[in-house]
Amino acid sequence: MTYGSPDRQDGTLTQGGYSDSIVVSEHFVLQMPDGIDLASAAPILCAGITTYSPLKHHGVGKGHKVGIIGMGGLGHMGVKLAKALGAEVTVFTRSEAKVEEAKRNGADHVVVSSDQAQMDAVAETFDFMLDTVPVQHDLNPYLATLRYDGTHILVGLMDPIEPAVEGFNLIFKRRVLAGSLIGGIPETQELLKLCAEQNITCDVEMIDIQEINTAFERMEKGDVRYRFVIDMQSLKR
Amino acid sequence: MTYGSPDRQDGTLTQGGYSDSIVVSEHFVLQMPDGIDLASAAPILCAGITTYSPLKHHGVGKGHKVGIIGMGGLGHMGVKLAKALGAEVTVFTRSEAKVEEAKRNGADHVVVSSDQAQMDAVAETFDFMLDTVPVQHDLNPYLATLRYDGTHILVGLMDPIEPAVEGFNLIFKRRVLAGSLIGGIPETQELLKLCAEQNITCDVEMIDIQEINTAFERMEKGDVRYRFVIDMQSLKR
C-alpha cells in the first residue's frame, strides 16, 4: 500500500505523499491543471473523486433531484459536484446548525432529518441519494424519500448495514441500493479538469506537519471544515 | 384489491379470478396468444412476470452469467426466462435433491449453496443474481459471487433483510442490491408472446376447486412442482 507497507524494492516502510520524492508508474500520475490551488485541490483526489465517481456512473444530471446525506468532507464535495452536473441538490443533516453551512456550499434545499415532518414532506421525491455517513445509521427513512427506480448510493462504509434494510423499501418501488469506492485515474483526471474549469475546490485548512497532533484531536471532534491539508514544506523545518 | 376487498360499486367482496364473470378496464386485460395452454400459462401472469421484469429491466442477455437463488415457483421460471434471454444460468440451491430438477428446467450449472467449496469456486463470477427466496437468508455469501458492478435482485420479500448486508460487499466492488415487484401490463403481454413463441410454460398441477384444502396443505410442505392451478370449471360441480 502507499503508506506504512513494506516497500517492494527494499522492504522499508512506504511513505506515500509524505515522501520527498516518489517513483511511480506513469499510469498512476495525475496532472494538476494550471491555476488550480494545490492545497484546495488535494482532497479532490479522495473526497472529490469518491463523490464524483458514483454520480457520474449512475448518470446524475440536469433534471435530477439529488439528496446528499451528511455535511462533512465528502458531503460538501457531493453538493458542489452534483450541482456542477446540473442536479437540484438537497442536503440531509441531523443538525440545524449545518443548514446555513449547507446553503453556503451551494445546496438548493436542506432537510433536517431528525424532523419527521420535514422527512415526510419529501417522501418519494428523490432520484438519487448520496450517503456519505461513515457510521451506522438507518437507511430506511432515506429510502422512503426515493421515487420509483430511485438509487441510494453508499460511499461511507457500514459493516454491517444496521438497522437492517426493509425489503419492501427496495421491492415495492424497484429501488436500488448501490455501493461505490473512490474512482479510477482517467475519471479523476476528468474531475480535476472539471474542477479547474468551474472553479470547484475543497474547503480546507492548511497546517504545518508540526501541528498534526492538534489537528488529529480537532478532526476527532469534527472541528474542521472540511479537510486538513499538510504543507509538506513544513517537514523541512 | 382484486380479491377479498369491498367492491367499489356494491360493497360486496371482490372475487377476482374466482368470479364467473368480471368487468375490468381494457387497460388491464391481457390477450392469451393462440395455442398456449391456459393452465400452464396462468402462473406466467405472476411467477413469470415477477422474474422476467427485473431480468429485462437490468438488461440481462447473451454473454451474462446469471444465478437463480431458490428452485421453486419463481426460481424455475427465472431459469427458463434467463435462458430465453440468452444468459448462462446457474441455480443456487441448499438441497442436493434439487440439482437434477434444476437441470431438467434448463439450468447450465447448479451450485449447492451449503457447500462452501462450491461457493468459493464461483466467487466474483456472476453478472446478476435473481433471488427468489421469500424467507430471511444471508445475502452476503451471494454478493461475494458477483463480479465488479454485479447486481443482486430481490423479488422475494424479506422484512427486514437479516442477517444484515455488509457494506463492503457493495462498496468495494460497486455492486448493487435491487428490488423488483411483479411487472406492468405491456411487459406482461410481451412476456406472453415470448412464452408462446419459445414454448415456455410453468410446470403446474391442475386441481379441482374441491381439492383446495389438500392442495394448500401440500403447498405448505413444499410438495408442488411448481404451482397448483385451479380448473374453474370444477366450481360448477
pLDDT digits (tens, 9 = 90+) for A60-107: 999 999 999 999 999 999 999 999 999 999 999 998 889 999 999 999
Question: Nearest Cβ partner of B180 from A163, A164, A174?
Answer: A174
Give, in degrees to the nearest 5, the angle at Cα A46 between A42 and A49. Answer: 105
The Cα–Cα gap between B97 and B95 comes to 5
pLDDT at residue B222 in the model = 86
What pTM was computed for the model? 0.94
Give, in degrees to the nearest 5, the angle at Cα B10 between B9 and B13. Answer: 105
The Cα–Cα gap between A13 and A4 comes to 5
Beta strands B176-179; A176-179: pairing state: antiparallel
The beta strand positions in B2-155, using DSSP E, are: 3-6, 13-15, 65-69, 88-93, 109-112, 126-131, 146-154
Question: Nearest Cβ partner of B157 from A161, A167, A174?
Answer: A167
- How do the pLDDT tens digits run along chain B, 237 residues long? 888 999 888 999 988 878 878 888 899 999 999 989 999 999 999 999 999 999 999 999 999 999 999 999 999 999 999 999 999 999 999 988 899 999 999 999 999 999 999 999 999 999 999 999 999 999 999 999 999 999 999 998 888 999 999 999 999 999 999 999 999 999 999 999 999 999 999 999 999 999 999 999 999 998 999 999 999 899 888
pLDDT at residue B122 in the model = 98
Q: How far is A170 from chain B (nearest CA, A)?
A: 5
Query: In sequence order, which residues have a C-beta less than 8 Å from that of residue A103 and are 6 or more positions away?
Result: A110
Contact call for A165 and B160, based on CB within 8 A? yes
Contact call for A177 and B181, based on CB within 8 A? no
pLDDT at residue A35 in the model = 87
With cell 426460481, the residue in question is B75
Nearest to A94 by CA among A118, A78, A122, A115: A115
Assigned superfamily of B44-179: NAD(P)-binding Rossmann-like Domain (3.40.50.720)
The Cα–Cα gap between A204 and A202 comes to 6
Q: Which candidate in B161, B172, B175 is best for mutational testing of the A interface (most A CBs within 10 A)?
A: B161
The complex's ipTM works out to 0.93
- Pick out chain A residues at pLDDT < 50: none
The Cα–Cα gap between A13 and B118 comes to 39
| SS3 label, residue A44 | helix
Instruction: Say how many C-beta atoms besides its own lie within 10 A of residue B25's C-beta.
Output: 6
Which residues of chain B approach chain A closer than 8 Å at the C-beta? 54, 57, 154-181
Contact call for A174 and B160, based on CB within 8 A? no
* CATH 3.40.50.720-classified regions of chain A: 45-179
Nearest to A153 by CA among B170, B129, B155: B170
Question: Nearest Cβ partner of B172 from A160, A162, A181?
Answer: A181
3-state secondary structure A178-233: EECCCCCHHHHHHHHHHHHHHCCCCCEEEEEHHHHHHHHHHHHCCCCCCEEEEEHH
pLDDT at residue B9 in the model = 87
Instruction: Say how many C-beta atoms besides its own lie within 10 A of residue B109's C-beta.
Output: 16
Q: How far is A29 from chain B (nearest CA, A)?
A: 22
pLDDT at residue A205 in the model = 96
| SS3 label, residue A42 | helix
pLDDT at residue A19 in the model = 81
Which residues of chain A does B164 touch, with a Cβ-Cβ cutoff of 8 Å?
160-162, 164
**Which CATH number fits the domain A45-179, given the four candidates 3.40.50.720, 3.55.50.30, 3.40.640.10, 3.20.20.70?**
3.40.50.720
* CATH 3.40.50.720-classified regions of chain B: 44-179
Q: What is the pLDDT of residues B148-168, one digit of tens each?
A: 999 999 998 888 999 999 999
| B224 conformational bin, left if phi > 0, alpha if psi -120 to 50, beta if neither | beta
Question: Nearest Cβ partner of B159 from A158, A167, A175?
Answer: A167
